[in-house]
């Protein structure tokens, strides 16, 4: 059976809400206990896409509060805490227990609680005489956000900046790598699988892969490890492949405009934790939820926007026909709206109509919701010429350049400052060689639009550094100096940033990540991936470098992007499972899910850290 992260994650949370008791087949506890739920902001974001208020009630949660809010005592009721194991949370729990706010305390930490904090919790509750209030302490390994069945985020912000920061020391880099590896470990524990790990050598991907491999090895040595259930499945058809990449592997995908429904809703309307706000017809804001419970979203989110608009129209017409049919059968009028007041007729037809009423009402709500979203998108598309940016960027990547007049027209035409900045950076990435006068004209156009050019300057710097690396290869002394500086500055992955058009998009516009994952899951010799690191945490250490018998093909893959993922890559990997015979399921995750604008802002921060960018630089990033 295919791995379903959303289902597994939800099961873990429901078990936690039921005081970590085993659940009966209906998914509830045998004995219903009314309780209070306390969480911090981070854990609220974990719960939000998975559990609704009605689900909380179903599992006996009558009240729920943020941990840092002032709360009144509720005696005789147990409290379930779901928080990160931070210093402030531990102190707050001790204070709550010493005030006897609740009958018993069931403490659940989102990741493994460090020994220091555990000792602090024990001594704090002991001193205040509240130790008997603490019923149980659990490490839940749930420190990630699941957005869809096959999509997750570690919700670790600005990782791209931290990994590429020229001023970051070894200690800071190690802390980031530890955080990322711990987050991935939580995902694997929740899925209950020990994967085979592949990644490009050098840079953050290898660092995370090696640390994760070590964590899994150490954990598998303990008797009561969390992976015992799956211990017997050794063939690659039952074990997934974990492919780890770094954002610089294919920077362009994170920046470009896209015209498919899901990426467009994320980029333009700011989809966050599966929710978004859209301006309503009467001026107020409407809030919508987009997840697997929405059949239209599930079926159409990977389509191009014009196809979605046609599909909304089709669904609306079908709804109207079905309403007419019900009205006809029950002898009602022929109005398109179905309000149930005209139901007269024989009992059988009446019963059928009554039974179809909830389904029709639900369909109408879904159609109205997507009509609202599509209308808001269309307004932005027209105002900003997003369709034109998408097409030109795609053509640039295919052709390896763009006509100068076309380039300047786009930069001086419609679009926000950020649209133009993203387009200018795509121009830089797509061209093999930099034309100095053309670049100066682009910079002038950006300054004219009052855009912050720090991100543009940063990518230009990396690009020129690449050129000087290639040019100086004859002179080994100067090359080693540049390489030292480059490795310090860009975490060893500069060459990947502008790896040329060939790596970025092949003729069928398949993303490099998708192409690589396809090759890795097939497990056949392939010059593109033969140099990739191979780690098998279940194999003896000596054979791990490639002697493991688990070579593939792999039915399932987990793809992880350090430094920020996006819905374009996610969609591309889901399409892979539709058209390819070997791999049946791909889970995609990242340190955070970013829009093109958010990634460009992070590039801008790096540009400023290097002292690049124009005078406008200080204004546009502040307060974000």
Contact 366, 294 (CB under 8 A): yes
Rounded mean pLDDT of 362-383?
Answer: 92
Share of the chain above pLDDT 70, in %: 83
DSSP string across 378-391: HHHHHHHTHHHHHH
Q: Is 106 helix (H, G, I), strand (E, B) or coil?
A: strand
- Give phi and psi for 531, each to the nearest 5: -85, -5
* CA nearest neighbour of 125 among 99, 143, 151, 145: 99
Cα separation, 491 vs 448, whole angstroms = 34
What pLDDT score was predicted for residue 358? 83
User: Is pLDDT above 90 for 601?
Assistant: yes
Give the Å distances, CA to CA, from 274 to 93, 262, 298, 380, 596: 30, 11, 12, 20, 18
Token readout for 98 is: 């010493």
Question: If you search the block for the tokens 């729990």, which residue do you land on?
Answer: 93
Q: Is the pTM of this model over 0.75?
A: yes
Give the Å distances, CA to CA, from 137 to 10, 56, 93, 108, 192: 20, 21, 12, 6, 21
Across the chain, mean pLDDT equals 84
Token readout for 69 is: 């809010």
346 contact partners, CB below 8 Å, separation of at least 6? none
Taking each helix axis from N to C end, the angle separating 305-329 and 347-384, rounded to the nearest 10 degrees, works out to: 160
Cα separation, 524 vs 514, whole angstroms = 16
What pLDDT score was predicted for residue 466? 67
In this predicted model, what pLDDT tens digit does every residue of 294-323 receive, in sequence order? 999 999 999 999 999 999 999 999 999 988
What pLDDT score was predicted for residue 550? 65
Contact 198, 241 (CB under 8 A): yes
What pLDDT score was predicted for residue 549? 56
Taking each helix axis from N to C end, the angle separating 454-471 and 596-609, rounded to the nearest 10 degrees, works out to: 70
Cα separation, 242 vs 517, whole angstroms = 9
In this predicted model, what pLDDT tens digit does every residue of 138-150 receive, in sequence order? 999 999 999 999 9
Cα separation, 59 vs 27, whole angstroms = 9
Cα separation, 197 vs 357, whole angstroms = 51
Give the Å distances, CA to CA, from 9 to 15, 186, 513, 533, 584: 10, 10, 26, 29, 20
426 contact partners, CB below 8 Å, separation of at least 6? 252, 255, 256, 393, 396, 397
pLDDT band at 570 (very low <50, low <70, confident <90, very high): very high
Cα separation, 200 vs 531, whole angstroms = 7
HSE (side-chain half, CA atoms, 13 Å) at 518: 16
* CA nearest neighbour of 425 among 403, 454, 447, 398: 454
What pLDDT score was predicted for residue 494? 39
Cα separation, 389 vs 379, whole angstroms = 15
Cα separation, 213 vs 185, whole angstroms = 9
Cα separation, 101 vs 79, whole angstroms = 9
Question: If you search the block for the tokens 């931290």, which residue do you land on?
Answer: 162
Q: What's the Rg (C-alpha) of the chain?
A: 27
Token readout for 20 is: 């970590």
In this predicted model, what pLDDT tens digit does every residue of 467-501 receive, in sequence order? 665 554 434 333 333 334 344 444 433 344 333 32
What pLDDT score was predicted for residue 338? 54
CA 415 to chain CA centroid, Å, is 26
HSE (side-chain half, CA atoms, 13 Å) at 100: 7
pLDDT band at 224 (very low <50, low <70, confident <90, very high): confident
H helix or E strand, kind and range, residue 245: strand 241-246
In this predicted model, what pLDDT tens digit does every residue of 122-140 receive, in sequence order? 999 999 888 899 999 999 9
Token readout for 330 is: 């029950």
Cα separation, 59 vs 47, whole angstroms = 14
* Peptide bond before residue 491 is cis, with ω within 30 degrees of 0: no
In this predicted model, what pLDDT tens digit does every residue of 493-545 receive, in sequence order? 334 433 332 333 333 467 889 999 998 988 888 888 888 999 999 888 765 45
- Give phi and psi for 571, each to the nearest 5: -60, -40
How far apart are the two ends of the chain, measured CA to CA in Å? Answer: 43
- Give phi and psi for 560, each to the nearest 5: -125, 135
């Amino acid at each position: 059976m295919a791995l379903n992260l959303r289902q597994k994650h939800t099961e873990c949370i429901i078990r936690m809400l039921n005081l970590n008791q085993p659940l009966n087949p209906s998914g509830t506890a045998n004995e219903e206990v009314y309780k209070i739920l306390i969480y911090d902001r981070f854990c609220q974001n974990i719960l939000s896409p998975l559990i609704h208020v009605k689900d909380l009630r179903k599992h006996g949660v009558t009240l729920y509060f943020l941990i840092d809010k002032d709360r009144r005592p509720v005696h005789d009721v147990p409290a379930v805490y779901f928080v990160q194991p931070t210093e402030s949370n531990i102190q707050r729990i001790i204070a709550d227990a010493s005030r006897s706010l609740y009958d018993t305390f069931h403490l659940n930490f989102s990741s493994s609680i460090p020994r220091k904090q555990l000792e602090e919790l024990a001594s704090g509750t002991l001193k205040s005489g509240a130790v008997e209030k603490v019923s149980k302490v659990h490490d839940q390994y749930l420190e990630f956000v699941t957005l869809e069945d096959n999509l997750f985020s570690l919700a670790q912000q600005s990782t791209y900046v931290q990994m590429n920061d020229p001023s970051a020391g070894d200690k800071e880099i190690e802390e980031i790598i530890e955080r990322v590896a711990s987050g991935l470990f939580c995902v694997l524990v929740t899925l209950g699988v020990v994967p085979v790990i592949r990644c490009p050598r050098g840079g953050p991907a290898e660092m995370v892969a090696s640390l994760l491999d070590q964590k899994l090895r150490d954990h598998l040595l303990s008797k009561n490890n969390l992976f015992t259930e799956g211990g017997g499945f050794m063939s690659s058809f039952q074990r997934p492949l974990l492919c780890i990449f770094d954002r610089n592997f294919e920077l362009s995908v994170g920046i470009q405009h896209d015209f498919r429904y899901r990426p467009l809703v994320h980029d333009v309307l700011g989809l966050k934790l599966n929710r978004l706000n859209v301006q309503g017809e009467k001026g107020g804001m409407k809030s919508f939820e987009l997840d697997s419970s929405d059949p239209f979203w599930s079926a159409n989110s990977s389509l191009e926007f014009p196809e979605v608009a046609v599909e909304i129209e089709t669904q609306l017409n079908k709804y109207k026909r079905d309403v007419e049919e019900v009205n006809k059968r029950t002898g009602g009028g022929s109005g398109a709206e179905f309000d149930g007041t005209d139901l007269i007729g024989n009992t059988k037809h009446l019963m059928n109509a009554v039974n179809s009423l909830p389904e029709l009402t639900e369909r109408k709500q879904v159609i109205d919701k997507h009509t609202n979203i599509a209308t808001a998108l269309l307004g932005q598309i027209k105002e900003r010429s997003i369709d034109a940016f998408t097409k030109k960027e795609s053509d640039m990547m295919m052709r390896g350049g763009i006509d100068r007049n076309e380039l300047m027209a786009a930069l001086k035409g419609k679009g926000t400052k950020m649209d133009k900045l993203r387009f200018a950076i795509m121009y830089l990435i797509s061209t093999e060689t930099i034309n100095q006068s053309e670049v100066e004209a682009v910079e002038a156009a950006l300054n004219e639009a009052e855009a912050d050019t720090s991100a543009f300057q940063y990518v230009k710097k990396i690009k020129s550094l690449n050129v000087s690396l290639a040019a100086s290869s004859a002179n080994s002394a100067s090359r080693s100096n540049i390489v030292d500086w480059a490795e310090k500055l860009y975490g060893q992955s500069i060459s990947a940033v502008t790896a040329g058009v060939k790596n970025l998009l092949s003729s069928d516009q398949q993303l490099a990540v998708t192409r690589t994952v396809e090759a890795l899951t097939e497990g056949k010799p392939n010059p593109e991936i033969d140099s990739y690191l191979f780690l098998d945490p279940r194999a003896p250490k000596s054979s791990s470098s490639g002697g493991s018998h688990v070579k593939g093909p792999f039915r399932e893959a987990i793809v992880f992007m350090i430094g920020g993922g996006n819905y374009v890559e996610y969609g591309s990997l889901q399409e892979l499972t539709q058209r390819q015979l070997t791999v049946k399921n791909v889970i995609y995750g990242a340190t955070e899910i970013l829009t093109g604008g958010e990634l460009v802002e992070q590039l801008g921060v790096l540009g400023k850290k290097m002292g690049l960018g124009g005078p406008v630089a200080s204004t546009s990033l502040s307060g974000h």
